């Protein structure tokens, strides 16, 4: 509310400027006392407001004003009182004589001439404290502003057929003053004309009164070395992703998000044409890999709901979500193209596909990604709520389904795997119920606790983070349905204003859901990193990250710890990046991440993926 109070005062000053007369009630200083009082001084002799009395007093001799400003920072009562017409009249009463403007010295012929015009036509509005910008002398430009106000008033009288009130002598005086101050008047009117032209241009070119358009363009060079044995290093490739977002509000409190995107990442059903496939570090279907970057989709080049191909740079609807409040602390949301990350705060500072971490591993807790929760293509239809329990605590939950628009399953393409492998119907097939409790015990610590309960028509995790994502129950057929319970936690501690320590831990418990196979397995993952704000230069960020990608730590029943031919080993991930902010709209991020025992297989060579990402936002 403090901002609202200051905005009210600023509005008065702005209106004075538009009227052609600079304000005398200008804010000079805002002081905070030891007793948490707030004093706002407008001029040497002007009004000031101070939080030291229980009521407002007006000293008519010196025209000083005191208003109660609560130490709590709630300025609503003060703002309301300031808006009362009686107080506005006290503060902004019209001055009808130049001599009342004590800073204007009557030593020039122009003073007497303008004084006569003002007193005859009442064409200058001033302030009752009898000052004009403190004790500073009146400039020619400021005098011209007053003259311009009188010219406008006289023109108004003539236009309304009351020209008999304007004498020939006054017109001659005005003409002489216009000649004397012609340069200043031309400058003044030129500024007004420029403002009017700019306003007309904005009105003619505005996109919408209810919708805002924003966009992000990522152009990136990718190179890699290592990978599976007997593989040649892939060529350096150039990729892009373009997103246009339309955010619309119908009530001022709700929000409809419509997102369009196009990208040129390749992959398809079997991952062919992708960087990860060239490295030999990709799952047999649906392109899961630990070598993925943060800004490429989970299923490039294919719609996983129908296994149909998507051409490079084809336009897609990747976001359609409506958010609306229903109570003071309760907000609902729903949409047909949504992701878990749309509803859940990321907690970690490494999140930001176009600005922060360059790998898929580093930017979010894997529990948020389960069941295609961050597919990058608005995979799920979802609905949920946001409950703001307090400023320090909020709880969010959703139900998501990837196959809500499919009425029936297609025929099988593999044993137990149909042409619509995720299932069909809003309440059938693959689905997820996810929740996050976000806790902020202090201004420097953020904690997020996640839980997800998922069901899949086929044997997958749906995170896209590792080749083991496909065939989550190793040794069990791909067509076996599974259920998952996933838990995780993310913590960020900003121990200095510019340095934060952030990390997460996650565990996935996967069980057979067919009733025909007794199989279970457990995956774990963790990450820790340092994030730097304004490193070396304001606006430049950096990160150093180390952790363990998803790793199968336990298996029971028919499930095994690793597929046949895999020499099982703990995988590790090391990453570093530095973002240069060129300006408010352009940034360049060079970085690299190294995979040790990639895909939990020591037969694979240590792999390095280098990234040079350029991001344009508008």
Is the confidence at residue 123, as pLDDT, over 60? yes
Residue 105, pLDDT score: 57
In this structure, what CATH number is given to the domain that contains residue 309?
A: 2.40.160.10
Q: Is the pLDDT confidence value at 66 over 70?
A: no
Whether the CB-CB separation of 490 and 503 falls below 8 Å is answered with yes
* Predicted pLDDT at 141: 63
Asked if residue 234 and residue 142 are part of one domain, the reply reads no
Residue with tokens 């407002």: 56
pLDDT level of residue 148 (50, 70, 90 thresholds):
confident
Domain end call among 178, 202, 226: 202
Q: What is the pLDDT of residue 368?
A: 96
* 285 and 146, same domain (yes or no): no
Q: Are strands 380-388 and 393-401 parallel, antiparallel or unpaired?
A: antiparallel
Of 283-287, 295-299, 325-329, 536-540, the least confident = 283-287
Round to whole Å and give the CA distance between 611 and 590: 6
219 and 153 part of one domain: no
Is residue 258's pLDDT more than 80? Answer: yes
- Identify whether residues 460 and 601 lie together within a single domain: yes
Each residue's pLDDT tens digit, 511-570: 999 988 999 999 999 999 999 999 999 999 999 999 999 999 999 999 999 988 899 999
- Which of 202, 223, 248 lies at the terminal end of a domain, its last residue? 202
Q: What was the pLDDT predicted at 49?
A: 33
149-206: pLDDT as tens digits: 777 777 777 777 655 667 777 777 777 777 777 777 777 777 777 777 777 777 766 6
Shared-domain flag, residues 447 and 397: yes
Give the span between the Cα atoms of 591 and 577, in whole angstroms. 4
Same domain? For 193 and 220 the reply is no
The verdict on 408 and 510 lying in the same domain is yes
Nearest to 482 by CA among 513, 452, 522, 509: 513
With beta carbons less than 8 A apart as the criterion, state whether 236 and 218 touch: no
Q: Which of 202, 220, 243 is the last residue of a domain?
A: 202
* In a shared domain, residues 493 and 381: yes
Number of domains in the chain: 2
Cα dihedral across residues 66, 67, 70, 74: positive or negative: negative
Whether 122 shows a pLDDT value over 80: the answer reads no
* Residues sharing a CB contact under 8 Å with residue 313, sequence separation 6 or more, in sequence order: 240, 262, 263, 264
CA distance 43 to 131: 8
Interacting residues of 135 by C-beta distance below 8 A, sequence separation 6+: 44, 103
Residue percentage of the chain with pLDDT more than 90: 60
39 is written with which tokens? 């004093």
Domain with 109, as residue range(s), is: 2-202
581-601: pLDDT as tens digits: 999 999 999 999 999 999 999
Q: Which two tokens stand for residue 264?
A: 């040129």
3-state secondary structure 521-533: EEEEEEEEEEEEC
The confidence band for 91, taking pLDDT boundaries of 50, 70 and 90, is very low
Tell me the pLDDT tens digit for each residue of 440-475.
999 999 999 999 999 999 999 999 999 999 999 999
Could you tell me if 215 and 108 lie in one domain? no
pLDDT of residue 24: 38
Name which of 82-86, 201-205, 264-268, 543-547 the model is least confident about: 82-86
Structure tokens at 574: 């090391």
The first and second tokens of residue 191, run together, are 């500024």
- My answer on whether 373 and 519 are in the same domain is yes
pLDDT digits (tens, 9 = 90+) for 23-65: 333 333 444 444 444 444 433 333 333 333 333 333 333 333 3
Q: For residue 107, what pLDDT is reported?
A: 63
Give the angle 346-347-349 at the CA atoms, nearest 5°.
Answer: 90
Mean pLDDT, the chain, whole residue set: 81
Shared-domain flag, residues 508 and 576: yes
> Are 187 and 313 contained in the same domain?
no
Q: What average pLDDT does this structure show over 351-365?
A: 95
């Amino acid at each position: 509310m403090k901002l609202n109070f200051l905005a009210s005062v600023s509005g008065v000053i702005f209106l004075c400027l538009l009227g052609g007369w600079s304000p005398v009630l200008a804010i000079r200083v805002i002081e905070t006392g030891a007793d948490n009082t707030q004093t706002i001084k407008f001029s040497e002799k002007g009004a000031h407001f101070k939080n030291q009395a229980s009521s407002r007093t007006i000293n008519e001799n010196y025209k000083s004003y005191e208003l109660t400003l609560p130490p709590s920072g709630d300025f609503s009562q003060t703002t309301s009182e300031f808006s009362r017409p009686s107080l506005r009249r006290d503060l902004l009463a019209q001055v009808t004589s130049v001599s009342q403007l004590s800073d204007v010295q009557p030593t020039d012929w122009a003073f007497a001439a303008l004084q006569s015009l003002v007193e005859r036509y009442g064409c200058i509005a001033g302030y009752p404290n009898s000052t004009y910008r403190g004790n500073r002398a009146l400039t020619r430009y400021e005098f011209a502003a007053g003259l311009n106000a009188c010219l406008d008033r006289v023109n108004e009288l003539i236009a309304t057929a009351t020209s008999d009130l304007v004498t020939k002598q006054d017109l001659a005086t005005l003409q002489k003053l216009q000649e004397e101050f012609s340069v200043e008047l031309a400058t003044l009117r030129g500024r007004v004309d420029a403002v009017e032209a700019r306003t007309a241009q904005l009105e003619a070119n505005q996109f919408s009164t209810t919708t805002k358009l924003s966009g992000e363009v990522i152009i990136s060079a990718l190179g890699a070395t290592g990978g599976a044995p007997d593989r040649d290093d892939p060529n350096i490739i150039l990729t892009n992703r373009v997103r246009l977002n339309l955010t619309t509000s119908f009530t001022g409190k709700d929000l409809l998000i419509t997102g369009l995107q196009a990208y040129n990442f390749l992959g398809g059903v079997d991952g062919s044409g992708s960087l990860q496939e060239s490295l030999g570090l990709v799952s047999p279907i649906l392109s899961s890999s630990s070598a993925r970057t943060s800004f490429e989709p989970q299923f490039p080049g294919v719609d996983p709901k129908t296994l149909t191909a998507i051409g490079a740079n084809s336009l897609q609807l990747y976001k359609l979500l409506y958010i609306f409040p229903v109570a003071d602390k309760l907000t609902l949301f729903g949409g047909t193209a949504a992701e878990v990350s749309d509803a859940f705060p990321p907690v970690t500072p490494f999140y930001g596909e176009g600005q922060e971490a360059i790998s898929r591993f580093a930017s979010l807790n894997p529990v948020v990604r389960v069941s295609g929760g961050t597919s990058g293509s608005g995979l799920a239809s979802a609905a949920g709520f946001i409950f703001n329990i307090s400023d320090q605590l909020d709880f969010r939950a959703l139900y998501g389904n990837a196959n809500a628009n499919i009425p029936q399953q297609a025929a099988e393409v593999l044993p137990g795997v149909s042409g619509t492998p995720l299932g069909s119907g809003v309440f059938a097939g693959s689905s997820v119920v996810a929740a996050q409790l976000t806790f902020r015990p202090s201004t420097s610590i953020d904690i997020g606790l996640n839980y997800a309960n998922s069901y899949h028509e086929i044997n997958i995790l749906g995170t896209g983070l590792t080749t083991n994502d496909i065939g989550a129950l190793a040794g069990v057929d791909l067509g076996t349905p599974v259920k998952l319970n996933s838990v995780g936690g993310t913590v960020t501690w900003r121990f200095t204003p510019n340095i934060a320590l952030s990390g997460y831990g996650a565990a996935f418990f996967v069980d057979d859901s067919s009733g025909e196979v007794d199989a279970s397995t457990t995956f774990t993952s963790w990450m820790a990193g340092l994030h730097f704000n304004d490193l070396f230069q304001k606006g430049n960020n950096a990160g150093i990250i180390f952790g363990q990608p998803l790793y199968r730590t336990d298996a029971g029943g028919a499930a095994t710890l690793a597929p046949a031919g895999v020499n099982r080993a703990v995988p590790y991930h090391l990453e570093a990046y530095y973002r240069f902010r060129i300006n408010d709209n352009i940034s360049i991020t060079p970085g690299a991440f190294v995979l040790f025992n990639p895909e939990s297989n020591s037969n694979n060579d240590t792999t390095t993926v280098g990234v040079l990402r350029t991001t344009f936002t508008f």
